[in-house]
Amino acid sequence: MDVTISASVLAADHGALADAARSAAAAGADMIHLDVMDGRFVPPITFGQEAVRALRRTVGLPLDVHLMIVEPERHIASFAAAGATIITVHAEAAVHLHRLLADIRGAGCRAGVALNPATPVTVLEHVLDLADLVLLMTVNPGYGGQSFLTGSVAKLARLQDLLRGLHPRPLVGVDGGVNPQTAPLACGAGADLLVAGTAIFEAADPATAIAALRRARPEPRT
């Protein structure tokens, strides 16, 4: 299976998000990643449902909505109605993660769960059948342009152990500091989906950058 590239518009000009999403689509991205931040779960405040709605009108790609917010259960229905394809919540922000993931699917979206670097993968043990995506944060969330935490490779291996034998199994994604140098580490440890902001939007040529990320996935053995 080819690696999936989700372009994070956090790194783009927020005055021209639609242009950024269109250019990422033209450059070959598979999804558009929207980092919703509330100033509480993480310090910055970014954008909300209206930005999702606007991008839904702009591009045909799936919208991968990463909620870095407290009390995410209050906002699932509205992000689903705005056009989110995947809604990812943080395990650290969810008091009732099991119910929350079921509710995301119930709202017609694919359910993602994100883990901060300090959170062990074992917190997912009893919800894996409810998750379509497990997103390992490979930086501490809140900001683009940080360096990939190399300890994430061991964590990805732990996650693979947890997923062994599970059918169907969720996609495994990584988010933060992903670039053509770090993507092979993540893909070599089993990542199926790469979220990248800076590496795409600050590249001289986003299409070349996306192609370089795509090459990170080792060829499947025949």
Contacts of 122 (CB under 8 A, 6+ apart): 162
- The active-site residue, picked from 30, 64, 132, 175, is 175
What is the rounded distance in angstroms from the CA atom of residue 83 to the CA atom of residue 183?
Answer: 29
Rounding to the nearest 10 degrees, give the CA dihedral for residues 13, 89, 95, 43: -20
Find which of Zn ion, ligand DX5, none residue 142 binds, CB within 5 to 8 Å per kind.
ligand DX5
The counts of H helices and E strands in the chain are 8, 8
3-class DSSP assignment, residue 48: coil
Answer for which of 37, 62, 66, 213 binds Zn ion (CB under 5 A) is 66
Answer for which of 30, 64, 132, 175 binds Zn ion (CB under 5 A) is 175
Find which of Zn ion, ligand DX5, none residue 113 binds, CB within 5 to 8 Å per kind.
none
Cβ distance 16 to 50 under 8 Å?
no
Sign of the alpha-carbon torsion through 143, 148, 149, 153: positive
Q: Which two tokens mark 20?
A: 């950024």
Name which of residues 30 to 69 contact ligand DX5 (CB under 6 A).
33, 35, 66
Task: Decide: is 195 part of the binding site for ligand DX5 (CB under 6 A).
Answer: yes
Answer for which of 85, 116, 146, 160 binds ligand DX5 (CB under 6 A) is 146
- The active-site residue, picked from 30, 35, 64, 103, is 35
Stretch that binds ligand DX5, among 16-24, 50-58, 77-85, 134-142 (CB under 6 A): 134-142
Task: Decide: is 144 part of the binding site for ligand DX5 (CB under 6 A).
Answer: yes
Nearer to ligand DX5, 126 or 140 (CB): 140
List the one residue out of 36, 79, 83, 76 whose CA is nearest residue 60. Answer: 83
Cβ distance 45 to 68 under 8 Å?
no
Name which of residues 26 to 45 contact Zn ion (CB under 5 A).
35
Nearer to Zn ion, 68 or 76 (CB): 68
Task: Decide: is 180 part of the binding site for ligand DX5 (CB under 6 A).
Answer: no
The question of whether 35 is a catalytic residue gets the answer yes
Task: Decide: is 194 part of the binding site for ligand DX5 (CB under 6 A).
Answer: no
What is the rounded distance in angstroms from the CA atom of residue 76 to the CA atom of residue 189?
Answer: 31
**Site size with ligand DX5, rule: CB under 6 A:** 22
Amino acid at 172: V
Cβ distance 31 to 214 under 8 Å?
no
Cβ distance 85 to 63 under 8 Å?
yes
Question: Catalytic residue numbers?
Answer: 35, 175
The residues that touch ligand DX5, with contacts defined as CB under 6 A, are 8, 10-11, 33, 35, 66, 139, 141-146, 175-178, 195-199
The residues that touch Zn ion, with contacts defined as CB under 5 A, are 35, 66, 175
